[in-house]
Amino acid sequence: MNRERTLRGDGPRQRLSTACARRGMRVIASSAEADVVLTRFGRAVTVTLRPDETGLLHWCLPSRIPSASDAVDIAPIGEESHVAERAAALLDAAGRAARQALTGGNPPRLPARTP
User: Could you report the per-residue pLDDT of 34-69, keeping only the tens digit for each?
Assistant: 788 888 888 888 888 888 888 888 888 876 655 555
- pLDDT score of 27 more than 70: yes
| pLDDT given for residue 9 in this prediction | 46
User: What is the rounded CA–CA span in Å between residue 18 and residue 26?
Assistant: 9
| pLDDT given for residue 100 in this prediction | 79
Pairing of strands 26-31, 35-40: antiparallel
Q: Kindly report the average pLDDT of the chain as a whole number.
A: 76
All structural domains of the chain with their residue ranges? 2-94
| pLDDT given for residue 43 in this prediction | 85
Query: In terms of pTM, does the model score above 0.75?
Result: no
